[in-house]
Amino acid sequence: MNFLVDECLPIRLARTLSDAGHHARHLSDLGLLGATDEKVMAAAAQHDSVLISADTDFGSS
């Protein structure tokens, strides 16, 4: 499974998922720190990834 970890979560989460056999990237791996929610969602779709975020208002701006 592919995961994209949002910047509000630690980089180590992506590393832990990778160590468990998943393909996981953090937004920082893609140079997307500070990107809009729309760009983050587009990146998740482009990489066929499930977005993991703790941002309770993600997508509402």
pLDDT digits (tens, 9 = 90+) for 25-37: 999 999 999 999 9
- At residue 7, does pLDDT exceed 80? yes
- At residue 61, does pLDDT exceed 70? no
pLDDT, position 60: 80
Q: In which element (H, E) is residue 45 found? A: helix 37-46
Can you tell me whether residue 20 is helix, strand or coil? coil
Report the candidate in 6, 38, 28, 1 with the shortest Cα–Cα distance to residue 17: 1
